[in-house]
């Protein structure tokens, strides 16, 4: 999930000291796109000793640190030059503790890692001295096993193969080993690219970074060639002095997978709610709500009305989602056309799959790769509310399928500050119509898809959103009437967009707390979601029927997918905002997006009304772990915020 890079130049390379320093700086700045929480660099310095500098600061700030300047000057003073660098987006282990930041060093090896391990505890269990663990970060398990294993038969090559055969998740690594003076590059996803020149080698997490370096006139004299991918489940061992390369074939990781279908314990949730005292869930009152006699939408749903038979206008107007059998062949033909045009241009990868770590994107990625033979590039936008669980599931999918994952990391510290500011303002004047403001920072997901497409010369993008996810009540609370014929969940008519903007504008004037530093981010998020062009854009489930049981069974069986212990559902468990906004909707209006989802299933004939009602009574129980995580993440007083929400007048009889 992070950005890694490196420079290796042997005797005779056309790489002057000043140019080498500039190259390292340029690659570090490009890698910042993948992580800003921490950064570091390791290198063989003047006497060919291993030195490193790392700090819990962004790459931009690290570049101005005296310690960085001293190391890079020493490392590039003479040939050979060997350095590796890291730009971190924190997953496991706080970036504020430098022991969790990279490069990590142990027993003569410095290592950097892009990816997420789903089984670090199991890996530590294979180490002869697990008590030697010094940090929380998952990467340390890789380093410990490599450092210990390289002394055995087969050396570093055999140790690398053993480690990759034992890990679960995604790993693209680079390591400098001082004992045998080798640079190790290895990946199970292909998120690692190498550009070679006379007597030199440069690598980075993304092809685009190396393409930009090659086009930069400041580096024209180095003679770097076209970047090549370190293919999934392969690696290289490069001799630092002679630049001789040895190819590595790596085995697939853990299989069969551990069972991770955590059972939801409603009794535990109820007990925690009682113990906390500031969380409400009045199931009896929710059961008394007047609901549609066909679906389960309640009378508190915005813009709802009922006919003489008690059937709501949504049931009368919304058409069931019907995917015909021949649509599968239509999709196959469409994919074949894009693949043919890409191959004519000399490209193997011809599609981007947005991969959020949720159940549908994981299932869809599996289906498109395994059934349709797609060769995609996956992409994730992390804005700070992607949970560690979602990250682990992304890693499982990419590691198992051998897929490159381009991560775009927002300035997460800033994004969390925006959320905190807007939630604080909202709590002063609660308004259901303004709840989507909490998620505005996520909407840049859509504009970044177009940027990634342009950077990689790709046209096709296939999304994997269930057609049952339509939740127009979120705009409905802001006065926007339902659009019965909307073809996409992100579609709003021009009139509806103006109405929504007007609603937000007047709300901001009434509540000056919203006039804060987040406004530009919110505005560009709105443009990204509602205005950003969608070209060569398709949704898998317009061609393939969506079936909940099939989706769940597939992701658990194919990837050892992990669900959340605080939810009976597999939906929205990787979205850190969902427990909070659903709690507000349920407490104030008596329903959540689960009610809309199950109602759409009823209309499709997938589930009975009675079954749907029982499901939402469990699914709408406040997600205890998720709520705690959310408030810790944005650093707000949870009891005070929850009491404010509980005091909002109910739209139903409690």
CATH number of the domain that 527 lies in?
3.40.50.620
List the domain range (segments joined by +) for residue 349. Answer: 266-646
User: Is residue 546 one of the residues assigned to a domain?
Assistant: yes
Tell me, yes or no, whether 283 and 420 share the same domain.
yes
| Residue 654 counted as domain residue | no
CA distances for 310 relative to 156, 284, 296, 298, 302, angstroms: 71, 21, 11, 11, 16
652 domain-assigned: no
pLDDT for 487 equals 66
Domain assignment present for 49: yes
Query: What contacts 380, CB < 8 A, 6 or more positions away?
Result: 1, 354, 355, 356, 357, 386, 394, 405, 406, 407, 408
**Exposure class string for 313-334: b at 16+ Cβ within 10 A, else e:** bbbeebeebeeeeeeeeebeeb
Of 249, 280, 305, which closes a domain?
249
Whole-number Å distance between alpha carbons of 352 and 340: 16
- Does 191 lie in the same domain as 318? no
316 and 170 in a single domain? The answer is no
Domain-ending residue, one of 249, 279, 299: 249
- Predicted confidence at residue 322, as pLDDT, reads 67
Rg (CA), the chain: 26
Which residues are CB-neighbours of 137 under 8 A, at least 6 positions away?
91, 92, 93, 99, 100, 101, 102, 104
- Claim to verify: residue 513 and residue 605 sit in the same structural domain: yes
Query: Within this chain, do residues 613 and 470 fall inside the same structural domain, yes or no?
Result: yes
Residue 502 forms part of a structural domain: yes
Asked whether residue 273 falls in the same domain as residue 231, the answer is no
Q: Name the burial class of residue 245, with classes exposed (0-12), middle (13-18) and buried (19+) by CB atoms within 10 angstroms of its CB.
A: middle
pLDDT digits (tens, 9 = 90+) for 415-436: 999 999 999 999 999 999 999 9
One domain, residues 273 and 232: no
Q: Minimal CA–CA distance to 622: which of 125, 286, 212, 308?
A: 286
Same domain for 500 and 364?
A: yes
Residues of the chain with pLDDT under 70: 46-48, 322-326, 486-490, 654
Q: Is residue 588 part of a domain?
A: yes
| CATH code, domain carrying 214 | 3.60.20.10
Based on the fold, state whether residues 312 and 222 are members of the same structural domain.
no
3-9 and 460-463 beta bridge pairing: unpaired
Number of structural domains found in the chain: 2
pLDDT confidence of residue 166: 94
Alpha carbons 35 and 205: distance in angstroms, whole number: 12
Q: Are residues 363 and 215 in the same domain?
A: no
Q: Is residue 259 part of a domain?
A: no
Query: Are residues 137 and 242 both part of a single domain?
Result: yes
The rounded distance, in Å, linking the Cα atoms of 144 and 123 is 9
**370 falls within a domain:** yes
- Angle at CA of residue 353, ends 348 and 357, nearest 5°: 135
Domain boundary among 216, 249, 282: 249
Q: In 3D, which of 51, 90, 47 has the Cα closest to residue 67?
A: 51
What pLDDT score does 129 carry?
Answer: 87
Do 194 and 291 belong together in one domain? no
User: How many residues does this entry show for the chain?
Assistant: 654
Q: DSSP 3-state assignment of 92?
A: coil
């Amino acid at each position: 999930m992070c950005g890694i890079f490196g420079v290796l130049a042997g005797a005779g390379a056309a790489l002057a000291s000043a140019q080498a320093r500039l190259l390292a700086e340029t690659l570090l700045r490009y890698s910042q796109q993948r992580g800003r929480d921490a950064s570091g660099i390791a290198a063989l310095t003047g006497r060919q000793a291993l030195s490193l500098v790392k700090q819990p600061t962004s790459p931009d700030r690290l570049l101005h640190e005296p310690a960085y300047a001293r190391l890079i000057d020493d490392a590039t003073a003479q040939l050979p030059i060997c350095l590796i660098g890291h730009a971190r987006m924190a997953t496991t282990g706080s970036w504020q503790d430098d022991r969790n930041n990279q490069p990590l060093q142990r027993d003569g090896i410095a290592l950097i890692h892009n990816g997420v391990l789903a089984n670090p505890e199991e890996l530590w269990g294979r180490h002869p001295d697990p008590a030697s663990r010094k940090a929380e970060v998952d990467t340390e398990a890789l380093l410990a096993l490599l450092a210990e294993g390289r002394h055995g038969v087969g050396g570093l090559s055999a140790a690398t193969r053993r480690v990759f055969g034992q890990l679960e998740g995604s790993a693209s690594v680079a390591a400098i080993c001082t004992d045998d003076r080798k640079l190790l590059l290895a990946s199970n996803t292909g998120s690692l690219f190498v550009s070679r020149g006379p007597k030199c080698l440069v690598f980075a997490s993304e092809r685009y970074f190396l393409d930009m370096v090659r086009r930069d006139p400041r580096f024209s004299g180095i003679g770097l060639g076209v970047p090549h991918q370190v293919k999934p489940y392969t690696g290289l061992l490069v001799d630092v002095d002679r630049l001789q390369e040895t190819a590595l074939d790596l085995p697939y990781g853990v299989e069969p997978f551990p069972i991770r279908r955590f059972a939801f314990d409603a009794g535990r949730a109820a007990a925690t709610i009682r113990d906390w005292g500031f969380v409400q869930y009045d199931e009896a009152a929710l059961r008394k709500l007047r609901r549609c006699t066909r679906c389960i939408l309640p009378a508190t749903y915005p813009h709802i009305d009922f006919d003489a038979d008690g059937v709501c206008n949504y049931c009368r107007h919304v058409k069931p989602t019907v995917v015909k059998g021949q649509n599968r062949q239509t999709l196959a033909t469409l994919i074949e056309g894009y693949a043919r045009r890409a191959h004519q241009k000399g490209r193997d990868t011809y599609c981007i799959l947005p991969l959020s770590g949720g159940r549908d994107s994981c299932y869809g990625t599996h289906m498109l790769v395994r059934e349709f033979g797609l060769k995609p590039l996956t992409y994730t936008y992390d804005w700070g509310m992607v949970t560690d669980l979602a990250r682990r599931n992304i890693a499982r999918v990419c590691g198992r399928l051998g897929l490159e994952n381009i991560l775009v990391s927002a300035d997460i510290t800033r994004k969390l500050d925006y959320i905190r500011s807007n939630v604080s303002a909202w709590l002063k004047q609660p308004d259901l119509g303004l709840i989507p403001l909490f998620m505005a920072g996520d909407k840049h997901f859509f504009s970044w898809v177009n940027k990634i497409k342009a950077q990689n010369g790709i046209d096709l993008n296939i999304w994997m959103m269930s057609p049952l996810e339509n939740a127009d009540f979120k705009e409905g609370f802001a006065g926007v009437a339902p659009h019965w014929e909307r073809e996409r969940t992100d579609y709003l008519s021009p009139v509806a967009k103006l109405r929504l903007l007007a609603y937000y504008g007047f709300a901001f004037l009434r509540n000056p707390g919203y006039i804060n530093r987040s406004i530009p981010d919110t505005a560009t998020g709105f443009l990204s979601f509602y205005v950003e062009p969608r070209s060569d854009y398709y949704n898998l489930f317009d061609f393939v029927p969506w079936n909940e049981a099939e989706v769940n069974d597939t992701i658990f069986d194919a990837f050892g997918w992990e669900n959340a212990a605080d939810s009976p559902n597999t939906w929205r468990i990787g979205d850190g905002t969902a427990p909070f906004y659903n709690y507000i909707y349920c407490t104030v209006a008596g329903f959540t997006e689960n009610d809309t989802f199950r109602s759409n299933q009823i209309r499709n004939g997938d589930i009975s009304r009675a079954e749907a009602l029982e499901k939402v009574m469990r699914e709408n129980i406040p997600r205890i772990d998720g709520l705690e995580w959310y408030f810790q993440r944005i650093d707000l007083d949870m009891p005070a915020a929850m009491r404010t929400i509980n005091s909002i007048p109910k739209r139903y009889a409690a």
